[in-house]
Amino acid sequence: MAIAKKTPAEIVTQRFEYAPAPEATEHVKVEPRYSLFIGGRMLEPHSKKRFPTINPATEEQLSEVAEADEVDVDHAVVAADKAFGPWSRLSPSRRARYLFRISRLIQERARELAVVETMDGGKPIKESRDVDIPLAAAHFFYYAGWADKLDWAFPNRKPRPLGVAGQVIPWNFPLLMLAWKIAPALAAGNTVVLKPAETTPLSAMLFADICRQAELPPGTVNIVTGAGKTGSLVVSHPGVRKVAFTGSTEVGKLIQRSLAGSGKRLTLELGGKAANIVFEDAPLDAAVEGIVNGIYFNQGHVCCAGSRLLVQESIAEPLLEKLKVRLSTLRLGDPLDKNTDIGAINSKAQLEKIEGMVASGIEEGAEIYQPECKLPDRGYWFKPTLFTNVSQSYRIAREEIFGPVLSVLTFRTPAEAVEKANNTPYGLSAGVWTDKGSRILWMAERMRAGVVWANTFNRFDPSSPFGGYKESGFGREGGLHGLLPYLELN
Ligand code: NAD
Ligand code: MN
């Protein structure tokens, strides 16, 4: 029996309507105000200052967190320094036990953490629930496993911890970035002062409570909140032996400059402008899912987002038609709703940045496509957007937008694909879609990107190292490689 083939437009009208399915929030207790987690206790900030953190989907204030000043940061580093001796001398299997305990507690409190992550940052609950929180727990589990095996990880090299690690993280994956920073540092025997991003401090405050529940020795982990000024106080403190930063390339360069000659170890995980490359022999429907996951996951607030689609000219038309249909089925709205695909933009400032970049794309001559979709009245929102007719010189093809905006370019030969993919100051990630294994290997060898995904995108595993080339930074997080920045090898 012949099955009638539906046109893409007919598929769109087939879109299912779901009743609202909001995740419950009653079980979550957010304090009206938080202090600083220093030496195992919540301490009033010396600065006496606090600032609000809001829910970007509603613009409502969720809580107030402390703004750590120079004295506060010094307290935190002194506490971490004091804890370093005992922590680094603790038997490695005991250290592992604390890390296992932390990962178990993250799992136990996963629902609470997911809801807080979504309320504070605007990401869809299905992502915080299924990606952020499970991966954060997995990261602690993974590094717990290494804690008592460092001598086997680096045979005959006598690995030794460095001291206090100063760590500064961004707002796009708050708890996961915290896990990427804290887990390897502790497993290697270091102690930590961490500063979360100013728009998403709440999951780090819950993590402070998890450290307390795990009975982690006081001062092993310290968490200071604040904005850029507090971050610069953490990285420049003379008691800090190792700095780990994830965020913008601009701030990364500032930090690298300020640390020159200090003898501090440094790793930087910065921006990206990844190419997602689709060859004519790729399974198109799977590629469409990969493209959507690559750039619309977490509203495109992803450093390794596939923000440049490079599609082989021969299939550009059918692929774009499929992609546009798929965009019109994405559900934008309440991040706490379990059916939501696209949540809120993290902050007003980020929304303005995205709007500015999109305006530049239109002005430079690119053609914009946005599906019909209604934006909520309050909060910060941006429709999933794609640009065709993009030239490599346009800002939307060169600069990181960090929003749900895709720039589409075409190519004819594999060599042209490689050249265009590498034509960027960044080098964090890339995707290749093709039926041929040999082509995947050929491409991966030629691309200057820390991660190359083949027939998939945005896949993470704690055992797999992640990091960049060029202006995407240096150093690796995850895997055995992720331990190296926290160890001295003799
Ligand atoms: P940012 O680099 O300003 O902020 C990241 C973190 O660094 C935050 O915790 C911030 O408080 C802190 N910080 C700011 N200035 C500092 C300084 N001088 N010294 C030490 N710490 C400092 O990033 P942003 O303003 O939040 O976002 C701007 C752009 O950065 C985004 O549009 C995006 O392009 C990029 N970004 C990249 C990532 C990533 O994962 N690679 C994450 C967030 C933002
Ligand atoms: Mn917030």
Using the mean position of ligand 2's atoms as its centre, give its distance from the Cα of residue 272 in Å: 23
CB 51 within 8 A of CB 65: yes
Q: Which pLDDT score, from 0 to 100, does residue 48 have?
A: 98
Q: In what order do the strands lie in the sheet with 221-223?
A: 41-43, 36-38, 221-223, 191-195, 164-168, 240-246, 265-269, 473-474
pLDDT at 9 over 70: no
What spatial distance separates the first Cα and last Cα of the chain, rounded to whole Å? 72
Q: Exposed, middle or buried, 263 (CB in 10 Å: 0-12/13-18/19+)?
A: exposed
In one-letter notation, the amino acid at residue 63 is S
The answer to whether 371 and 324 are in contact (CB under 8 A) is yes
- Which listed ligand is nearest to 201 at the C-alpha? 2
Check residue 7 and give its pLDDT. Answer: 66
Q: What is the C-alpha separation between 59 and 4, in angstroms, rounded?
A: 47
Determine if ligand 1 sits within 6 Å of the CB of residue 198.
Answer: yes
Q: How confident is the model at residue 17 (pLDDT cuts 50, 70, 90)?
A: confident
Of 451, 427, 468, nearest in space to 267 by CA: 468
Helix, strand, or coil (residue 307)? coil
d(CA 397, CA 411): 14
Question: 477 pairs with which residues across the strands?
Answer: 466
Q: Are 457 and 446 in contact (CB under 8 A)?
A: no
For residues 6 and 279, the model is more confident at 279
**What pLDDT is stored for residue 16 in this prediction?**
78
In angstroms, what CA-CA distances link 210 with 99, 109, 223, 327? 11, 9, 12, 39
Q: Nearest-5° angle of CA 96, CA 164, CA 49? A: 110
Q: How far apart are the CA of 197 and the centre of ligand 2, in A?
A: 9
Tell me how far the alpha carbon of residue 35 is from its chain's centroid. Answer: 25
106-147: pLDDT as tens digits:
999 999 999 999 999 999 999 999 999 999 999 999 999 999
Q: Which residue has the tokens 């896990």?
A: 179
Structure tokens at 182: 């804290």
Helix (H) / strand (E) containing 264:
none
Question: Six-digit token pair at 80?
Answer: 């971490």
Q: Of all atoms in ligand 1, which is nearest to the CA of residue 173?
A: 40
pLDDT of residue 10: 66
pLDDT at 435 over 90: yes
Position 12 pLDDT exceeds 90? no
Burial status of residue 254 (CB atoms within 10 A of its CB: 0-12, 13-18, 19 or more): middle
Ligand 1 mutation pick, 168, 240, 424, max ligand atoms within 8 A of CB:
168
pLDDT at 351: 98
Distance 243 CA to ligand 1 centre (A): 15
Average pLDDT over residues 212-231: 98
pLDDT at 139: 98
Strand partners, 487: 161
Whole-angstrom distance, CA of residue 406 vs CA of residue 396: 8
Is residue 346 within 8 A of residue 381, CB to CB? The reply is no
Percent of the chain, pLDDT > 70? 97
Query: Is the pLDDT reported for residue 96 higher than 70?
Result: yes
State the pLDDT at residue 4: 64
The response to whether residue 227 sits with its C-beta less than 6 Å from ligand 1 reads yes
**Pocket lining: 258 vs ligand 1, CB cutoff 6 Å:** no
pLDDT, tens digit, for every residue of 390-421?
A: 999 999 999 999 999 999 999 999 999 999 99
Q: How far is CA 204 from CA 164, 198, 356, 362, 385, in A?
A: 18, 11, 31, 39, 32
**Strand-strand pairing, 405-411 and 308-312:** parallel
**Whole-model pTM over 0.85:** yes
pLDDT at 3 over 90: no
Beta carbons of 72 and 46 less than 8 angstroms apart: yes
The tokens describing 145, both together, are 């496993």
Q: Tell me which residues are annotated as active site.
A: 269, 303
Percent of the chain's residues with pLDDT above 90:
96
pLDDT at 13: 58
Convert the pLDDT of each residue in 479-490 to its tens digit.
Answer: 999 999 999 998
Arithmetic mean of pLDDT, 67-75: 98
| Number of Cβ atoms within 10 Å of the Cβ of 108 | 13
Neighbour count for residue 318 (Cβ, 10 Å): 12
Q: Is 248 in the pocket of ligand 1 (CB under 6 A)?
A: yes
Q: Which atom of ligand 1 is nearest to the CA of 272?
A: 41
**How far is Cα 243 from Cα 485, in angstroms, rounded to an integer?**
9
pLDDT at residue 8, rounded to an integer = 61
Q: Is the pLDDT of residue 1 over 60?
A: no
Pairing of strands 36-38, 41-43: antiparallel
